[in-house]
Amino acid sequence: MALLPILRYPDPRLHTIAQPVGSVDDEIRQLVADMAETMYEAPGVGLAATQVNVHKRVVVIDVSEDKTGLMALINPEILERSGEQECEEGCLSVPGIYEKVTRAERVKVRALNEKGESREIEAEGLLAVCIQHEIDHLDGKVFVEYLSSLKLSRIKSKLAKKARITA
């Protein structure tokens, strides 16, 4: 397994729309393993392949307290959304920034697992938010882009300043 470099917003590669995975093979399983290791090390609860500059529709998520609930979602698609919730979100590609975003409270998703088996998942709460957040990455969207243009401008300035300080 290997730690993968995470792209930082506003890197334009984060806006690349991920391509569907044709078949779940050893290469995809290795990608899932590397992404999981990267996510846990960061630490985070979700990571999309787009964030590590691999433009395939692959997501890893683990919202469990003890890090035993790893899920791989390959070619995920949201079938149903219901309700509404406002949650504070963060992102490994936008380090140190946390903002409230409105999302569906419940989602039903179809995806392949790392064995290539199709499954449907009904999720609510944090898991639903995480699934929506990661699928947004696959569609080339970062959570801060849901915010007002003023907030987004301030975030970009803050990140640019932080990048200059650490450079």
Taken in order of first residue, the domains within the chain and their CATH numbers are: 12-166 (3.90.45.10)
Q: Tell me which of 89, 99, 114, 134 is the catalytic residue.
A: 134
pLDDT digits (tens, 9 = 90+) for 30-78: 999 999 999 999 999 999 999 999 999 999 999 999 999 999 999 999 9
Q: Which helix (H) or strand (E) element contains residue 134?
A: helix 125-138
| % residues pLDDT > 90 (the chain) | 92
- R_g over Cα of the chain: 15
Residue 130 annotated in ligand binding? no
What does residue 67 show for φ and ψ, rounded to 5 degrees? 60, 40
* Residue 55 assigned ligand-binding role: no
Does the global pTM surpass 0.85? yes
Q: Is 91 annotated as a binding residue?
A: yes
**Annotated catalytic, 134?**
yes
Residue 86: strand pairing partners: 102
Starting from the edge strand earliest in sequence, which strands make up the sheet with 118-124, in order? 46-48, 58-61, 71-82, 106-112, 118-124
